[in-house]
Amino acid sequence: MKKIILGITALFFLAALQPVQAQDKAWKTLSKITFKKEYNEMMGFKVDVPVFSEDVTALDGEEITIRGYIIPVEGYRSHQEFIFSAYPYNLCFFCGGAGPETVMEVYAKEPIPYTAEPITIKGKLELNSDDINRLIYALRDAERATDVE
């Protein structure tokens, strides 16, 4: 009995060590990308350029619903323009070890107040493989959607 309790305790401990990602089908689809090195004239060296899978390309211009975290980033002017992440602030692409496919720029129709809790939003997805000064994903005309756990 003691071994069973220790085993269950170990499983809970290991689960607690796993990154806290908003469980969301959309993020799983958006992670289906690879990168290739291409010379960038402006930078003067090779940069990683995303190569979107067919699943991701099919979403370009489509309305998607996605669950994640608002990342407060200086330089975004209001609650209408912000970064959205599959991971909370301490684990996101900017602060942790996640990749660029786990964040997106959001341009909301109306301000969406900041919260540290995961929220669900919907909007039109745009893919970006050309402008290295932007993220690879953007969500336009976004609005808060009904939160689903």
Cα-to-chain-centroid distance, residue 76: 16
Q: pLDDT tens digits for 89-118?
A: 666 666 666 788 999 999 999 999 888 899
Q: Nearest 10 degrees: CA dihedral of 76, 78, 84, 89? A: 80
pTM value? 0.78
Residue 106: count other Cβ atoms within 10 Å of its Cβ: 27
More confident residue, 94 or 81: 81
Q: pLDDT tens digits for 50-71?
A: 999 999 999 999 999 999 999 8
Domain boundaries, the chain: 20-144
Residue 38 tokens, joined? 């291409």
- Cα separation, 58 vs 56, in Å, equals 5
Cβ atoms of residues 46 and 123 within 8 Å: no
> 20-144 sits in which CATH class?
mainly beta
User: Averaged over 20-33, what is the pLDDT?
Assistant: 80
